[in-house]
Amino acid sequence: MKKKVLILLFAIAPLGLFAQNTAHGQEKALKQYVFWDNWFIQGQFGAQRTYSEGNKSSSFGDKLSPTAALGVGKFFSPEVGARIQLGGWTSSNYLNGSTYDVKYLNGNIDALFNLTNIFLSYKENRVFNLIGILGAGYVHGFRNSDENLHATNSVAPRIGLQADFRLSNTWSINLEANGNLLRDDFNGQEKFGCSYDGTLNVLAGVTYRFGRRGFATVEAADPALIQSLNDQINSQRGQIEEYKACCEKKSEEPKTIIKEVPSTKSASLNSVVSFRIGKATIDPSQEVYVYNAAQYLKQNPDAKVVISSFADKNTGTAEFNQKLSEKRSEAVAKILKEKYGIAENRFTVENNGDKQQPYPDNNNWNRISIITSK
């Protein structure tokens, strides 16, 4: 059973990958979050119905008992989260015309799946969310000396649903139903050929979210747009060089005057490599700009370049963005060295994080590495 639960968890874990388009086709991506974001604590109280020996001969109310739970968890994405929960209280059981109680304590690890966000488009401030629960726990039933019942231990798989009603960014109320499958001796009895005992819990509670809460979306950079801007910049630079050459030609003295011709300087380089939001992988459409830098260095043996990398300020923390800019510089440098054979002493790197924003008026354009000649 434990193996089946683990296999199922790994099989549906990719649901946590987030991708979304707007109505106009603009790609959306999640703002970057760190480990301590989107944590919550949850307290619940409710009723439990135990299914065990004597179930058919007892009334529904005979086997009702109180239960409570306290949990802490985290959502890794709008779709997928996890929680650790401690719960228990009393299990009411019925046998031979009378009821008796078994006190118990359980600890659970649950995977949480926001079914609303999985099957509907994601909304940051949605009021209602339906959450699927799949997990496993360890249940200890305490000894009952009055009934001459020994202590028990069970590994219990769990499945359930939780309805979450958002009150604010911080608080929500929830209503949860979950079923747990236990060993047949959970209630201290092993009779009538039953294979398992079970419990059905219905709980109501509150959830408090702390740290940075929720998942904000931002527009992802369009590599095609960045490439178009790069082409325009390079075209304008070429035109400027042509105008300068034309002006210099017109200002020359008559040919009868002999003058010393200065040595020609190496052409300058300004190549911009853009990245997707939160990524340091160079897209195939952007590698041409690394290639141009490599060709420039090969054609100018004495030239050196600087790789300056940035991250947009509106996505992620300063610490995350600093590391992201370092990874972007490393990605550019790796291609220069390993693919084009450029010596490491011919370039230096500057990792700017989000401290500098080359494009202050457009946040999405700042996910870049700029390769410039010294």
> Which segments of 167-195 are extended strands (E)?
171-183
pLDDT above 70: residue 298 = yes
Residue type, 214: G
pLDDT tens string 201-230: 999 999 999 877 777 766 655 565 566 666
pLDDT above 60: residue 12 = no
pLDDT tens string 33-74: 678 889 999 999 999 999 887 666 667 777 889 999 999 999
pLDDT tens string 330-342: 999 999 999 999 9
Residue that wins the pLDDT comparison between 157 and 14: 157
pLDDT above 60: residue 323 = yes
Concatenating the DSSP letter of every residue in 96-109 gives TTEEEEEEEEEEEE
pLDDT above 50: residue 7 = no
Mean pLDDT over residues 349-372, rounded? 91
Distances (CA, A) of 299 to 269, 288, 323, 337: 12, 16, 32, 16
pLDDT tens string 173-194: 999 999 999 988 887 777 666 6
pLDDT at 225: 57
pLDDT at 363: 85
pLDDT above 50: residue 13 = no
Bridge partners of 20, per DSSP, are: 28
Q: For the whole model, what pTM was predicted?
A: 0.60
Share of the chain above pLDDT 90, in %: 51
Confidence of residue 322 (pLDDT cuts 50, 70, 90): very high
Q: Among 335, 341, 318, which Cα is nearest to 371's?
A: 335
pLDDT above 70: residue 261 = no
User: Which of 152-156, 160-164, 232-236, 321-325 is predicted least confidently?
Assistant: 232-236
| Phi, psi torsion values for 298, nearest 5 degrees | -70, -35
User: Could you give the count of Cα atoms lying within 13 Å of 256 in the half-sphere of its Cβ?
Assistant: 0
pLDDT above 80: residue 84 = yes
User: Could you give the count of Cα atoms lying within 13 Å of 129 in the half-sphere of its Cβ?
Assistant: 26
Where b means 16+ CB within 10 Å and e means fewer, 118-140 reads beeebeeeeeebbbbbbbbbebe
Mean pLDDT over residues 225-243, rounded? 66
**Planar angle of CA 167, 168, 173, nearest 5 degrees:** 35
Structure tokens at 273: 């490599």
Mean pLDDT over residues 361-369, rounded? 90
As a whole number, the mean pLDDT across the chain is 82
Mean pLDDT over residues 308-312, rounded? 93
All structural domains of the chain, each given as residue ranges with its CATH number in brackets, are: 2-210 (2.40.160.20), 223-373 (3.30.1330.60)
For residues 195 and 214, give the distance between their C-alpha atoms in angstroms, rounded to a whole number.
43
CA-based Rg of the chain, rounded to a whole angstrom?
Answer: 32
Residue that wins the pLDDT comparison between 58 and 102: 102
pLDDT above 50: residue 14 = no
Mean pLDDT over residues 292-317, rounded? 91
pLDDT tens string 135-177: 999 999 998 877 788 889 999 999 999 999 999 989 999 999 9
